[in-house]
Amino acid sequence: MKLRKSEEPLPGRAVALILLLCVSEMRAETVRYSVSEEAERGSFVANIAKDLGLSGEELLARQARLVPEGEKQYFQLNQHTGDLVVRKQMDREELCGQSEPCL
């Protein structure tokens, strides 16, 4: 059976399919944690490597980092273990003022 010109496979389609399959394995994750205002410096929050299903080596290889919304970095991430800890104690009034709820 001879293919008509419109039915011939295009190399661009094959490349697009391969890229789609490769990129589909990559994903962005958003994880949220609640931390008490009274949590002291060094307090354990979570192990994000475990929560994301990664090992510490994978977290390090992917160059995981924390990106603060403001100037102050309230949390610290150990890239080797995935542990997230409080770096600086939070002040609710400083962060949210009088707004309710404070998230």
Selecting from 3.40.50.300, 2.60.40.60, 3.50.50.60, 2.40.50.100, what CATH number does the domain 38-91 have?
2.60.40.60
pLDDT at site 18: 57
pLDDT in tens, 34-75: 888 888 999 999 998 898 888 888 888 888 888 877 788 888
Where are any strands of DSSP class E within the chain? 44-47, 75-77, 83-86
- The alpha carbon of residue 6 and the mean position of all alpha carbons in its chain are separated, in whole angstroms, by 43
Tokens of 20: 């789609």
Q: What is the DSSP string of 31-43?
A: ------TTPPTT-
User: What is the rounded average pLDDT for all residues in the chain?
Assistant: 75
Instruction: Identify whether the C-beta of residue 73 lies closer than 8 Å to the C-beta of residue 88.
Output: yes
pLDDT at site 41: 92
Per-residue pLDDT at 20 exceeds 70: no
